[in-house]
Amino acid sequence: MCRHLGYLGPPVPVSEPVLHGPHSLRTQAWAPREMRGGGTINADGFGIAWWRSSIATGYRNPMPIWTDPAVDDVLGQLCTTAVLAAVRSATLGMPIDRASCAPFIRGPWAFSHNGVVPDWRKTIGSVLKGVDGLGGVDAATLLELETATDSAALWLALAARLEAADPASALRGLVTDVLRAAPDARLNLLLGDGQRLWATTCYHSLYVLASENDTAAAVVIASEPYDDDPRWQPVPDRRLVVARPGELTIEPI
């Protein structure tokens, strides 16, 4: 599948959370430890989102992250207090192109999906059409699907929910509805708005690192720990995580 990471804390170069630690997200692209099936490496592209004036912006590349010098040479020159990044292992049959790389961005939001939705067109299509309680999405909205992948379709469904619900409720409702239609779906979702992170666990691994001291507080949500810091906390399955520096809640979905 994929690996993703979210960071909130003191200002850092945009590339720093992606390169940090002996088992950084970039290292996880070619040497992941906890993929749990669905691939062995994450070489089908990557993306990094950061925030400026409460608006998300991003950089995506369908090539392996270790081949792109811009991660060090360009993104290392930009500073931010929030990062959401992902490296991709494409599901068989799905396109390998820039549009298919997370994070997906709209306004203040950045979104990543680690997992797979079986028969995604039928499953997510039923959710989008209101069969599972969304209330319907018109044809014009369906044209906004950025690429023919389950992750892009999940983002379209979540973005529609975010117009009417708070992020935690929107994520909880989406996961519940998709699992009702496809019980074998794998739905580790990660959402950020530059001020807070929300994440879900459904099958795949997820960890949280919350640090706080007299001068700075930070929080990291990641598919795998990037170092051996004993403060990394594994998140159990079927959980919703809400985090910002100094605050962390983990609740059942």
Q: Which residues are catalytic?
A: 2
- Give the pair of three-digit tokens for residue 230: 């004993």
- Full DSSP string of 67-79: G-THHHHTGGG-E
Q: Which residues contact 67 (CB under 8 A, 6 or more apart)?
A: none
Cα–Cα distances (Å) from 134 to 31, 85, 159, 206, in that order, read 38, 28, 11, 27
Give the integer Cα–Cα distance in Å for 3 and 60: 15
Beta bridge partners of 114: 188
Q: Give the whole-angstrom CA distance, residue 231 versus residue 209.
A: 6
**Rounded distance between C-alpha atoms, residue 36 and residue 165, angstroms:** 32
The residue whose two tokens read 């739905």 is 187
Q: How many CA atoms lie within 13 A of 65 on its CB side?
A: 31
Encoded tokens for 24: 């950084």
